[in-house]
Amino acid sequence: MSNQRSAQPDALAEAPPPPGQSALVAAGLAIGILLLGIQLWLLTVALDLYLAGRGDQVWSLALVSGVIFAGGLAVLLILGRRPRLARPWPSGAVAAEPP
């Protein structure tokens, strides 16, 4: 009995991901890398403006960076969602047909 329980996690680990899951993860990774690159560029521009004595313009860049950060968090939330699985009907129940 204990051999069957130890074999089940291995079978689940080797199972292919659900359809579309790998494409969704790849898209999320690409968006994340793009957002990170944009934020690094904004940091460079903000530092350049600050060192040039135009610190008042840095706040608008900080606001844009915050919006990008929120977008990254939204992508993480979307990737963390789990699809709803249909519950099996009780043994004696019959599904009603649509009219």
What per-residue confidence (pLDDT) applies to 45?
Answer: 92
Count CB neighbours of 45 within 10 A.
14
What mean pLDDT do residues 36-48 have?
A: 91
- Joined tokens for residue 11: 């079978």
What mean pLDDT do residues 18-40 have?
A: 84
pTM of the model: 0.57
CA dihedral 81, 86, 17, 31 (to 10 degrees): -30
* Annotated domain spans of the chain: 35-80
Query: Rounded to whole angstroms, what are the CA distances from 77 to 81, 82, 96?
Result: 6, 10, 35
What mean pLDDT do residues 92-99 have?
A: 58
What mean pLDDT do residues 6-16 have?
A: 66
- Joined tokens for residue 71: 């977008």
